[in-house]
């Protein structure tokens, strides 16, 4: 703690790391990289309207999505920060088709999966966006990491979290020992502990799903959405609908206030839209560590066997009782058909 009673992220991580003798400062270095990169991205996001970094890069990524300029800028900022950390051998990024191998160092034990800017369709309209990250230990001991080193299940994550560039900028993370949130103090440019040991309510009042796709949803999901809208005093329904199209923003609200976020399978996209390695797994780790639940409809998100870098999975995530109810209704119609 410093003289003002503030606990900075850096101090917090050093204190926590004494509990992980195996980490030997490596995680501190990785978090220092995330912290620095997110401050730079935050600066760029804040002045996005003033300089020529809004809009499209004129290219598409491997998934055929238009890359926004800030997507590419954020990707480069995080990659160079990880590269300088000396602890990361490879990065899997939404914005890169293949594994991004970092220059060799002796200590390069970790692999990062990241979505450098999540919710990028919101960039041009000044709504909340974020960065999602996931940290793995490589499987092999040395040499160039292989695809097999990278394709690990979510239950192997060493740490995960996100930075939300919202009305304030926050960094939320877990190393498997609860979830803590830090708010960037603009004046001193430090992330300070603001949300200690975050717990998601078991029941909530928000449901977040893109109802524009309703006609493509499985029957049980349509039923669950109707259930959310029904009037019932005893269960506090109807719930409020909240969906901005930025997983980070929608889930951050639901983590703090209680709610469910669903990106279901659709007839057009049977595996949903969201990516396992750098969207669903890290957010699931945070949510589960906060006492919530994350499921694909078939198994816990973090138990999915990872077979491709840009693999997609359906996701039901948030307050435990809400996820259980949605899954029960989803499965009830599965059995009918």
CB 263, CB 141: distance < 8 Å: no
CB 248, CB 123: distance < 8 Å: no
Identify the H or E element spanning 288: helix 281-289
Of 114-122, 184-192, 198-206, 315-323, which segment contacts ligand AHG by CB under 6 A? Answer: 114-122
Taking the complex as a whole, the smallest distance from the CB of residue 130 to ligand AHG amounts, in Å, to: 8
Cα separation of 176 and 294, whole Å? 15
Of 178 and 245, nearer to ligand AHG (C-beta) is: 245
Place of tokens 């004046």: 187
Using the rule CB under 6 A, which residue among 17, 35, 87, 94 binds ligand AHG?
94
Using the rule CB under 5 A, which residue among 35, 87, 118, 288 binds Mn ion?
118
Residue 321 binding target from ligand AHG, Mn ion, none, CB below 5 to 8 Å by type: none
Residue 50 CB partners (closer than 8 Å, separation 6+): none
CB 206, CB 256: distance < 8 Å: no
The footprint of ligand AHG on residues 206-225 (CB under 6 A) is: 210
Of 142-150, 240-248, 284-292, 312-320, which segment contacts ligand AHG by CB under 6 A? Answer: 240-248
Other beta carbons within 10 angstroms of residue 2's beta carbon come to: 11
Using rule CB under 6 A, residue 75 touches ligand AHG: no
Taking the complex as a whole, the smallest distance from the CB of residue 64 to ligand AHG amounts, in Å, to: 11
Using rule CB under 5 A, residue 250 touches Mn ion: no
| Cis, peptide link before residue 238, omega less than 30° from 0 | yes
For the window 145-184, what string marks contact with ligand AHG as x by the rule CB under 6 A? ----------------------------------------
Taking the complex as a whole, the smallest distance from the CB of residue 14 to ligand AHG amounts, in Å, to: 31
CB 306, CB 289: distance < 8 Å: no
Instruction: Dig out the tokens for 74 from the structure.
Output: 């954020």
Using the rule CB under 6 A, which residue among 17, 87, 108, 115 binds ligand AHG?
115
Residue 273 binding target from Mn ion, ligand AHG, none, CB below 5 to 8 Å by type: ligand AHG
Residue 76 binding target from Mn ion, ligand AHG, none, CB below 5 to 8 Å by type: none
Q: Is the dihedral of CA 174, 176, 180, 182 positive or negative?
A: negative
Q: At residue 331, what are phi and psi to the nearest 5 degrees?
A: -70, -30
> In terms of Cα–Cα distance, which of 304, 297, 300 is closest to 332?
297
Residue 245 binding target from Mn ion, ligand AHG, none, CB below 5 to 8 Å by type: ligand AHG
Of 8-16, 86-94, 180-188, 305-313, which segment contacts Mn ion by CB under 5 A? Answer: 86-94
Cα separation of 72 and 100, whole Å? 14
How far apart, in Å, do the first and last CA atoms of the chain sit? 58
Of 3-11, 115-123, 167-175, 321-329, which segment contacts ligand AHG by CB under 6 A? Answer: 115-123
Other beta carbons within 10 angstroms of residue 6's beta carbon come to: 15
Of 13 and 74, nearer to ligand AHG (C-beta) is: 74
Instruction: Dig out the tokens for 29 from the structure.
Output: 């270095």
Taking the complex as a whole, the smallest distance from the CB of residue 328 to Mn ion amounts, in Å, to: 28
The footprint of ligand AHG on residues 246-305 (CB under 6 A) is: 246-247, 273
The DSSP secondary-structure symbol of 31 reads: H
Place of tokens 């957010």: 283
Using rule CB under 6 A, residue 118 touches ligand AHG: yes
Binding stretches for ligand AHG (CB under 6 A) = 65, 94, 115, 118-121, 210, 245-247, 273
Binding stretches for Mn ion (CB under 5 A) = 94, 115, 117-118
């Amino acid at each position: 703690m410093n003289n003002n009673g503030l606990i900075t992220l850096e101090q917090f991580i050093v204190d926590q790391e004494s509990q992980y003798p195996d980490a030997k400062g490596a995680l501190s270095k990785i978090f220092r990289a995330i912290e620095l990169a997110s401050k730079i991205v935050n600066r760029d996001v804040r002045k996005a309207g003033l300089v020529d970094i809004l809009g499209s890069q004129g290219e598409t990524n491997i998934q055929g999505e238009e890359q926004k300029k800030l997507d590419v800028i954020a990707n480069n900022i995080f990659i160079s920060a990880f590269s300088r950390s000396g602890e990361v051998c490879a990065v899997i990024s939404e914005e890169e088709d293949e594994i991004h191998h970092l220059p060799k160092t002796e200590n390069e034990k970790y692999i990062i999966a990241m979505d450098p800017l999540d919710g990028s369709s919101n960039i041009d309209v000044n709504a909340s966006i974020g960065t999602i990250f996931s940290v793995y230990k490589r499987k092999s001991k040395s040499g160039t990491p292989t695809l097999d080193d990278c394709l690990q299940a979510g239950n192997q994550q060493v740490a995960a979290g996100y930075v939300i560039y919202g009305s304030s900028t926050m960094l939320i993370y877990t190393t498997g020992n609860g979830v803590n949130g830090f708010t960037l103090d603009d004046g001193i440019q430090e992330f300070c502990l603001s949300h200690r040991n975050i717990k998601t309510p078991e029941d909530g009042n928000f449901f977040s799903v893109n109802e524009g796709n309703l006609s493509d949803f499985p029957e049980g999901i349509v039923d669950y959405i109707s259930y959310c809208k029904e009037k019932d005093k005893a269960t506090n329904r109807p719930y409020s609908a909240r969906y901005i199209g930025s997983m980070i923003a929608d889930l951050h609200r639901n983590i703090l206030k209680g709610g469910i976020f669903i990106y279901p399978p659709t007839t057009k996209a049977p595996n949903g839209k969201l990516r396992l390695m750098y969207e669903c797994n890290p957010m699931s780790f945070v949510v589960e560590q906060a006492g919530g639940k994350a499921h694909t409809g078939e198994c816990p998100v973090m138990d999915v066997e990872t077979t491709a870098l840009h693999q997609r999975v359906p996701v039901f995530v948030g307050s435990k009782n809400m996820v259980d109810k949605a899954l029960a209704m989803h499965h009830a119609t599965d059995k009918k058909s």
